[in-house]
A and B are shown apart, each in its own frame.
Chain A
Amino acid sequence: MHQTVDAALGINLLHANQEGADHNRDHFDEWGVTCFNVMSSPGAGKTVLLEKTLAALSPELKLAVIEGDMTTELDADRLRAYDVPVVAINTGRSCHLDAQMVAGGIHQLEHCTHPGELDLVLVENVGNLVCPAEFEVGEHAKVALLSVTEGEDKPLKYPVMFQAADCLLVTKIDLVPYLNIDIEQITQNVRQLNPHATIIPVSAQTGTGLAEWFEWVRQQVATPSRTVVGSH
């Protein structure tokens, strides 16, 4: 005799990724290392921000980078010029990093440095405003970038990313005179979803705002929030 039966599961679809992310974070905590997940659309300026950050902070902080790139090592090669450990994770056609890929990156880092000596690991995610927001990788803070050329409405259109960000860098502000863009409107749109994020307008070209960003980084490393981020 056949009978239809219902089994309740109630399991989160991202359960496995979340466990992996927690595991990565446990490693970072054990080593006393802070980890940032750096996310934005393609071309918002993640890599140049990391270049400026490595150049300015590597004399005082022990930094390393886990670089997610879809098919190339171009970004990683740019960052290797700053003499810090850089691990490239080739994500293939995947549009985001997940906890397992970053775990692979952490293992590679262990081969080229002593993780316990590091202060900060910067994970540069794949350029994408949608998917990376759902996949935690073990970070202590999420850093999002939005360039002024992308438009004020992006925080409203891609809310999950901007709602989750601990720090938002509004980039390329040297271009504002040539554009019809209102930075105050960007800030207001982000504030509707995320009243707590630190918002810093920057220009990697002119250096405007970078000192404030560096100070935010220093604070995070000095007083890392060991609470679990994310909303899963």
Chain B
Amino acid sequence: MHETDMTKALIMTVKDWYDSQPEDPQITKIHLVVGRFTCVEPMSLQFAYEVQTRDTFLAGTELVIRETPLIAFCHPCQQDYAPEIGLRYACPDCGTPMEDIRSGRELKIDHIEYCSDSAQAYAPNR
């Protein structure tokens, strides 16, 4: 279950960001982008996140995972196509092997939502 390691990496990265902020931000949501052509299972990641953030600065925060589809580009056909994971990866039109993956390998922390007390810094007109 390597989602445990992925979650550890996630928490460490967010902690670095958290520590670099001038005041302790109250994190509410962490948004991830996880491609379908990775070895990460979003359900397992959610579970690992919930367990591993208990009693930490991330306790009670929400992990929002956006999955991206596997999209490859076929050079002979000059077009994108969606390989069927587990069944077929070559171009359905010409049979050229999947080589140029345009989407589906993402594994990133996209953005973090948090509450800030120093609102004037962000919304000076309020």
Contact = CB atoms under 8 A, between A and B. Distances in A.
Interface of B: 1-2, 5-6, 9-10, 12-13, 17, 25, 28, 32, 37-40, 85-90, 97-99, 101, 105, 107-117, 119-120, 122-123, 126
Contacts of B28: 4
Given A2-B116, A7-B17, A134-B2, A13 B37 contact: no
B17 A130 contact: no
A13 B1 contact: no
Contact of A96 (B2, B87, B98, B126): B2
Contacts of B17: 7, 9
Interface of A: 1-17, 94-96, 98, 130-131, 133-135, 156-157, 159-160, 163, 191-195, 231-232
B39 A134 contact: yes
Contact of A231 (B101, B115, B122): B101
A2 B122 CA distance: 11
B9 A8 contact: no
B98 A193 contact: yes
Nearest to B1: A95
A192 B108 contact: no
A9 B89 contact: no
A17 B13 CA distance: 12
Shortest Cβ-Cβ A-B pairs, 10 listed:
A3-B119, A131-B2, A195-B97, A192-B89, A192-B90, A1-B119, A13-B107, A193-B89, A9-B109, A8-B111
Given A4-B28, A13-B108, 19 more contacts: A2-B115, A3-B116, A4-B115, A5-B114, A6-B112, A9-B17, A9-B112, A12-B107, A13-B6, A13-B10, A15-B9, A15-B13, A96-B2, A98-B5, A130-B39, A163-B98, A191-B97, A192-B98, A232-B105
